[in-house]
Structure 1
Amino acid sequence: MPTDQEYNEIRPYRDNEIHEVIKKLIKEESFIELLQFLFPHTPVNEYAQKLLSIRSVKEFQIGLIYPYIKDIIKNTTQGVSCEGLDKLDPAKSYLFISNHRDIVLDSAFLNILLHENGHDTSEIAIGDNLLIYPWITQLVKLNKSFVVRRNLPARQLLQSSMLMSKYMRHNITERKQSVWIAQREGRSKDGDDRTQTSLLKMINMSGNGNFVDSFKEMCIVPLSISYEYDPCDYLKAHESLLKKENPEYKKTPADDLKHMALGIKGRKGRVHFSAGSPINAQLDELKDLDRNEQLTKLAEIIDEQIHNNYKLWPGNFIAADNVNQNTKFAHKYTDADVNQFNKYINDHIARVDADKTLLTSILMKMYANPVKNFYKE
């Protein structure tokens, strides 16, 4: 039976490890600066002593992370709602595969909702491109995150993918620990949420050879995450423009930090999470297909739930009518909604020194695509 030792390079910290990690963290100057930024009204020494008193991962999450995320919800959203979690068994473990909008908050909000609905929090897959400093790695691993290694040579990437696949299966089947992972590498930049078959191939690497049974063992639950407003939308739109001009363009670590900070601090309007149904019953439909067809069909099964359970806001319908140059969804919004959405879009494109017409077009398609996917247009 696999043990935690096998996964040391990627797994989160366990209860017996966190005190030593925190002792190292509070000696990091940039971590102290982060504490001063996040908690300006609390003396650093007082917060450091609070950290040192923690003896379990649950205590870290519920005592420190939970109240901070609740403050983010209070100060930057008009509420975070959910549905579907009450239909899942808190005694079971699930692999939540979701669309991806925000670097930090997608999984953070999910864990708040899991906790409030009587479930254990999930472990979180996080790309190593975001772990810019060693102390950031330590911090996220305190918060039940495991590391997805990227941009490796082919042989190392294969080994890393196998290790992660085995770890995720170990979590679900042995540790009875739910896992959250995005349906694709990186966030969706255009609102067109699609599950990458490469993700499904990775998950299946640790299977027993039987495609259907291997995925049934993982108990996949598609998860839809719907933000009324995406604080980073104009940055994503600008990135799309830069990539059109230069296909080799890539964000820098400083850009990633900017996206993380803006995602946390920016206004989001209403936020909704919808957990779908475990897909196990549908997997039997795939047993007679060849492997490529199985992967394609499985991605479609996951996407169908993500698309159908997506919460569409007035801005999504306004954008859809704008893109299609009609009024098909005019009954879904008011004149006040139009004025508010257009003001929001204009405010965001004003922050970027680029072609405003192109930026507006990209943003409108970004908000319209969930409508297109919901109605199968």
Structure 2
Amino acid sequence: METHLMNASPEAFDAIRPYRDEEVREVLDRLSGDTELLNTLLRFKFPTLTDSFLAPLLRWIISRAVAKRVARIYSIRDLQLYVEAYMARMIATTTKGLTVDGLEHLERDKNYLFISNHRDIAMDPAFVNYALHVNGMDTVRIAIGDNLLKKGYVNDLMRLNKSFIVQRSVKGVRQMMAAFNLLSQYIHHSLKEEHQSIWIAQKEGRAKDGIDRTDPAIIKMFYMAEKKTGKSFADSIRDLNIVPVALSYEYDPLDVQKSHEIVQKQQEGHYAKGEFEDISSIAQGIAGFKGRVHVAFGQPLTGDFADAAAVAGAVDEQIRRLYRLFPSNYLALDALNETGDFAIPSFDTNVRAAFNERLAACPEEYQAQWLVMYANPVKNYLGRIK
């Protein structure tokens, strides 16, 4: 598995790369007959008939419908244009609007390594992609952990959408180092050989507590591919065109689930995630109400960074400044009586009522953590979180 950037061939990345245009039809044809996918769609469309005598007929009908809908898709771009309409509908029905800042920092003929905070498994890169696409820029390749790809059809769907695999499940130090080295090489290959931008989260896993921090290990991984070439760390980082991105959600569709997880870890020392809980979270993140959503692109990192911690700090500082604070954040801080000498903005009764209604829907035993999750972005902005 050990390869080096200077002689790595495209075939070296077959295990982790997204699908190519010439593979699209074969994958779509396979998906239209995939039993697990059809059963998932059946449970979604007709939950009371999943185990009925009608289930085989309904699966056949769904299979035909899927095949018909994707019949004219022959490339990744075709697929993303097809998905665009659904994305626009999702924004219209589950948000109070999407706003975007910072595109003026980007050049259309350059490729970027976007490092963003991470709040939602699927929607974070989806909103970044949509913001780029509607402004005439190419979409990104998306880093996704193999822990999310336990179902074959999920693997196929993600790789059709320009996702590449981060092999988190490998065991042993040598295997992990080899996997990270391959990932590093693939990121460099995508940016410099195939001229494709990349999206990657600032750390493994979502920031369930509302605190956005970049893991320096991610930055070290970027440098692995060029470390043996003699290129300096500062030059390697500068050539990656790293752009911090801040994603802000007025409301998190999974706020109760995240609060529950944190409380259980605090009380019992661990949280046992269900086998397909991440897939359920993806679906809820897509369909759930988000309020207003803001995507802010920062400025490319151009400094002479001495080490990974310095790069992580620069990313964090931009995300801290770019993060958009909503009434939900200020009102949560107020509810915790932690405003101190900071005067929160005034909000009308309708805004406060909506916030209180949302809070009331959270089980009482998780409400304190729920408030902490929404208040932490304000505390981070004020420099109260180190």
Q: TM-score under structure 1 normalisation?
A: 0.90
Q: Partner of 1:191 in structure 2?
A: 210
Q: Partner of 1:353 in structure 2?
A: none
Residues in 2 aligned to 1:6 and 1:345: alpha-carbon distance in whole angstroms: 49
Q: Which aligned pairs between 1:151-230 and structure 2 lie closer than 5 A?
A: 151-153=169-171, 154-207=173-226, 208=229, 209-230=231-252
Structure 1 residue 28 and structure 2 residue 34: aligned?
Answer: yes
Letter of the 2:239 partner, please give it.
E
**Among candidates 327, 347, 358, match of residue 314 of structure 1:** 327
Is the contact between residue 117 and residue 245 of structure 2 (CA under 8 Å) also seen in structure 1? yes
Q: Partner of 2:56 in structure 1?
A: none
Q: Which aligned pairs between 1:239-254 and structure 2 lie closer than 5 A?
A: 239-254=261-276
Q: Partner of 1:15 in structure 2?
A: 21
SS at match of 1:205: helix
Q: Give the drift of 1:54.
A: 1.5
Structure 1 residue 127 and structure 2 residue 134: aligned?
Answer: no
Is the contact between residue 140 and residue 196 of structure 2 (CA under 8 Å) also seen in structure 1? yes
Is the contact between residue 141 and residue 162 of structure 2 (CA under 8 Å) also seen in structure 1? yes
Alignment CA distance shift 1:326-1:372 (3 Å) = closer
Q: Give the drift of 1:309.
A: 0.3
Residues in 2 aligned to 1:20 and 1:198: alpha-carbon distance in whole angstroms: 37
Letter of the 2:283 partner, please give it.
A
Please say which of residues 20-29 and 243-252 is displaced more in the overlay: 243-252
Q: Which aligned pairs between 1:59-70 and structure 2 lie closer than 5 A?
A: 59-63=78-82, 65-70=83-88
Is the contact between residue 105 and residue 300 of structure 2 (CA under 8 Å) also seen in structure 1? no
Residues in 1 aligned to 2:323 and 2:238: alpha-carbon distance in whole angstroms: 24
Alignment CA distance shift 1:80-1:33 (3 Å) = farther
Letter of the 1:258 partner, please give it.
S
Q: Partner of 2:57 in structure 1?
A: none
Q: Give the drift of 1:105.
A: 0.8
Is the contact between residue 264 and residue 270 of structure 2 (CA under 8 Å) also seen in structure 1? no
**Among candidates 331, 338, 342, match of residue 345 of structure 2:** 331
Q: Partner of 2:76 in structure 1?
A: 57
Alignment CA distance shift 1:91-1:332 (3 Å) = farther
Residues in 2 aligned to 1:84 and 1:231: alpha-carbon distance in whole angstroms: 26
Unaligned runs of 5+ in 1: 351-355
Is the contact between residue 111 and residue 241 of structure 2 (CA under 8 Å) also seen in structure 1? yes
Residues in 2 aligned to 1:89 and 1:202: alpha-carbon distance in whole angstroms: 25
Q: Partner of 2:379 in structure 1?
A: 372
Alignment CA distance shift 1:43-1:87 (3 Å) = same
Letter of the 1:138 partner, please give it.
D
**Identity rate of aligned residues, in percent?**
39
Structure 1 residue 262 and structure 2 residue 284: aligned?
Answer: yes
Residue deviations 1:78-102 (CA, integer Å, cap 9, x gap)? 1111111233111110011000111
Q: Give the drift of 1:275.
A: 0.3
Q: Partner of 2:99 in structure 1?
A: 81
Is the contact between residue 10 and residue 147 of structure 1 (CA under 8 Å) also seen in structure 2? yes
CA RMSD in angstroms, aligned pairs only: 1.9
Q: Give the drift of 1:140.
A: 0.7
Residues in 1 aligned to 2:63 and 2:96: alpha-carbon distance in whole angstroms: 30
Is the contact between residue 145 and residue 167 of structure 2 (CA under 8 Å) also seen in structure 1? yes
Residues in 2 aligned to 1:144 and 1:55: alpha-carbon distance in whole angstroms: 14
Is the contact between residue 228 and residue 313 of structure 1 (CA under 8 Å) also seen in structure 2? yes
Give the 4+ runs in structure 1 shifted more than 6 A: 37-40
Residues in 2 aligned to 1:47 and 1:151: alpha-carbon distance in whole angstroms: 32
Q: Give the drift of 1:253.
A: 2.4
Letter of the 2:88 partner, please give it.
K
Is the contact between residue 32 and residue 64 of structure 2 (CA under 8 Å) also seen in structure 1? no
